[in-house]
Structures are given as structure tokens and as C-alpha cells.
A = this chain, B = another copy of it.
Amino acid sequence: MDNMNLSKHISGQFNAELEDVRNRVMAMGGLVEEQLTNALSVLQSGDDELAKKVVARDRKVNTLEVSIDEECTRIIAKRQPAASDLRLVLAISKTVSDLERIGDSAERIARLATEHHSKRQRGMLVSMDAMGRHTLKMLHEVLDAFARMDVDAALRIHKEDAKVDAEYEAVVRQLMTFMMEDPRSIPNVLDVLWAARALERVGDRCQNICEYIIYYVKGKDVRHLDMNQVEDLLK
């Protein structure tokens, strides 16, 4: 009887630990979402102070990645999780790595946006608006899907990236026109191009997180597979 209580207690503690680390991922996700929101706002406004805030807070994102990943390692070593518990811990470890890189993209965008926010360039930056909104929506939704470990949402969001890619291609074409019309603008336009590229990569990172959700829930590693194949696989 004592043993059973002990075992319940240990398991209860273990559950609490898993719950705690999940909550920390969600908190980190919230911070990264705020960073991207602010970076996109700098694109619009050129607000120097806000850009500095985004750059400074990226260190907080980095610290969260390392501390959550350490917590995952500690849980594996101490609790020796199996099956879905182990998959959860591994999915979390990979997710925080992608969230950290989304944070890097936000920092990069904020930095580039404020460096090149003359009137002349505002027109270029505006071309990224639709893409920015779309990427932010993808990030918001994937964090939501992660919180609920919702495979159907993950599959849907994964496909959304095709739209971000198309918007990115449109931005690149527009920026090329700018450069051809005014070759002196090339160095500045390239910086805007890097910002667009950083934003496009956010979509890819969101796709990765979708794959970890599917891995956790279904126990299948679907990296490098076509999502139509994946849907067949999960039927």
C-alpha cells in the first residue's frame, strides 16, 4: 500500500514536471510571438526604441531555450520516460530550438528595419506587410496547436507555409524591381531582402514545430515527407 502511494506520488510529481516544462514552452512561445509582433511593428514605424527592446530581449529568449532544454535533459535522466512521455520531452527540446531561431529572425528584422527606415525605403518595407501578418498568424496558430497537441491543426498550418513562400517570392520580385530602377539603392534593398528572408524562415520553423506535434501525438517522424503523404500515413 505504501509502495503504491509512493508510486502514485512519484508519477504525480513526474506529471507536474512535464506540465511545468510544457508551460515554460508556452511562456517562451508567448515571448517569441511578442518579439515578432514588435519586430513587424518596427517595420511599419521605424521606432528605434522598440527595435532596441526587441534586440535586448532576444537574450531572454536564448536563456529560455537553454534552461528549458536543460530541464528536458534532467527529466530524461531522472524520470527515464518511455513512449509518449519521452516523445513529449524530445518534441519540447526540438521546439524550443526552433522558437529560439524564430526569436533570432525577429531580432534580425527589428535591427534591419530600424537601420533602413528612411522615407525612401518605407515603400519597400511596406511590401512585407502581408507576409509579416501571415507569418505571425502561423506562429500564433502553431503555438495554439502545440498547447492542445492538435494534429489536425498542425497539418493545416504546415500547408499554410506555401502561402508565405508565395508572398516571399512576390516581395523578392518587387525588391528586384527597386534595385533595377535605382542601382544606387542596391545595398539598402539587400538589407530589406535579408529581413524578408528572415521572415520566410519563420514559416519554415513553424512547419518544423508542426512536425514535432505530429511526432508526439502519432509517434511518427514526418520530417522530409510531403504533407499529402503524411495525411495518408496518419489515416
Instruction: Enumerate chain A interface residues (CB-CB to B < 8 A).
Output: 59, 62-63, 65-66, 69-70, 73, 76-77, 80, 82-83, 86-87, 90, 93, 172, 176, 179-180, 183-184, 186-187, 190, 193, 197, 221, 223-224
In the complex with contacts A66-B221, A183-B179, A224-B66, A86-B76 CB distance below 8 A: yes
A132 shortest CB reach to chain B, Å: 21
A198 shortest CB reach to chain B, Å: 11
Partner of A224, one of B62, B77, B180: B62
Partner of A65, one of B80, B83, B86, B223: B223
Across-interface contacts of A70 in B (CB, < 8 A): 221
Across-interface contacts of A187 in B (CB, < 8 A): 176
Contact indicator A223/B77 (Cβ below 8 Å): no
Across-interface contacts of A87 in B (CB, < 8 A): 73
Across-interface contacts of A183 in B (CB, < 8 A): 179-180, 183
Contact indicator B82/A86 (Cβ below 8 Å): no
Partner of A221, one of B69, B90, B180, B193: B69
Contact indicator B73/A77 (Cβ below 8 Å): no
Residue of B nearest to A194 (CB): B197
Across-interface contacts of A223 in B (CB, < 8 A): 62, 65-66
Q: How far is it, in angstroms, between the C-alpha of A82 and the C-alpha of B183 when the chains are bound?
A: 59
In the complex with contacts A180-B183, A183-B180, A90-B73 CB distance below 8 A: yes
